[in-house]
Amino acid sequence: MKLATVGKGGSGKTTIAGTLTRIFAERGNKILAIDGDPNPNLAHTLGLTRSEVEKITYIPPSIMKQGERVNDVVQMVPTIPREEIISEYGVKAAPYVDLLVMGQPAHGSAGSGCMCASHRAVRGLVAELTAFGEHTVTDMEAGLEHLKRGTARHVDMMLIVAEPYYRSLEAAMRTAELSRELEIPFIKLVANKVRNSSDEEAIRTFCDQHGIDVIGVVPLDDNLVEAERLEKAPYDFKPDSPGVQSIRKIAQEIDSLGVN
Ligand SMILES: Nc1ncnc2c1ncn2[C@@H]1O[C@H](COP(=O)(O)OP(=O)(O)OP(=O)(O)O)[C@@H](O)[C@H]1O
Ligand SMILES: [Mg+2]
């Protein structure tokens, strides 16, 4: 299983990626969690403390170099073997969970303002790392741009996280369209921060109209915000909270789909 969470900024990608990872890890399968957001924050939702987070060595974009040109796009490839990347930069985040965190794209030289090459390196690295191991959960950066650059090349399940308001759903629809173009085998929507039945109905109606499958509904749950404030994993903070329980249900749904 190679799963990625995508969606609009603030929709809940990191919360859901981190909590799902912990739930999958309960089964004793090793999971590689990848923080593919240039502003990383997956570590806390997995359960690392502030001092542990401060010790994480981010993978520098400079370990990527230009490779072949595919469909007119120059691919970025790592300069050191994958195993070395994990042993050098991987962090034990929880039982059966290793975490890799991307570096920030380096800033362009003063005045040039160009971060393209560096962004490209980070994105190439996200794609490359997603090919690691059997089970990966990647927390992607917000928006669509990176998907066009191939970050989801190895992903077999795209979890599109959306909130019950029109712009979020519209963004989800575009993400679903792009994911179909990329031929990602499983494309599912998680309805997050749902306040009531009319929120849920609005999401379900929208998704029906656009042929998007809803895999689960996560209620608006203050426990998730509180966990974040305390820099704790929602999974550790309140495993029985409605938010964590509904993410557990999503994990069961994913299992029942038989994603490898
Ligand atoms: N179901 C929920 N109920 C209440 N709050 C939630 C819920 N899901 C996420 N949140 C809160 O919403 C905020 C954004 O969540 P999160 O960081 O997971 O989103 P994101 O999509 O990863 O954001 P970004 O695009 O900035 O990376 C956080 O404060 C988080 O605690
Ligand atoms: Mg995030």
Q: Mind listing the pLDDT tens digit of every residue in the chain (260 residues)?
A: 999 999 999 999 999 999 999 999 999 989 999 999 988 999 999 999 999 999 999 998 888 888 888 777 777 788 998 888 989 999 999 999 999 998 776 654 444 445 667 777 788 888 888 887 789 999 999 999 889 888 898 899 999 999 999 999 999 999 999 999 999 999 999 999 999 999 999 999 999 999 999 999 999 999 999 999 999 999 999 999 999 999 999 999 999 998 86
pLDDT at position 86, please? 87
Residue 225 CB neighbours (<10 A):
13
* Cα 41 from Cα 34, distance rounded (Å): 11
Task: Give domain limits for the chain.
Answer: 2-255
Residue 78 CB neighbours (<10 A):
18
pLDDT at position 81, please? 87
Angle 171-177-180 from CA coordinates, rounded to 5°: 140
Out of 6, 8, 14, mutate this one to test ligand 1's pocket (max ligand atoms within 8 Å of CB): namely 14
Contact assessment for residue 90 and residue 134, using Cβ atoms and an 8 Å cutoff: no
* Cα 174 from Cα 201, distance rounded (Å): 20
User: What is the helix (H) or strand (E) element at residue 213, kind and residue range?
Assistant: strand 213-219
pLDDT at position 107, please? 57
pLDDT at position 252, please? 97
Instruction: Say how many Å lie between the CA of residue 111 and the centre of ligand 1.
Output: 34
Q: Which residue has the tokens 């190679």?
A: 2
Residues framing ligand 1 (Cβ under 6 A) = 7, 9-15, 37, 142, 192-193, 218, 220-221, 224-225, 228, 243
Instruction: Say how many Å lie between the CA of residue 6 and the centre of ligand 2.
Output: 9
The Cα-based distances of 228 to 97, 134, 147, 163 in angstroms read 19, 29, 27, 18
Q: State how beta strands 2-7 and 157-162 pair.
A: parallel
Give nearest CA residue, ligand 1 atom 3: 220
Domain 2-255 has CATH 3.40.50.300: yes
Q: What is the pLDDT of residues 121-137, one digit of tens each?
A: 788 888 888 887 789 99
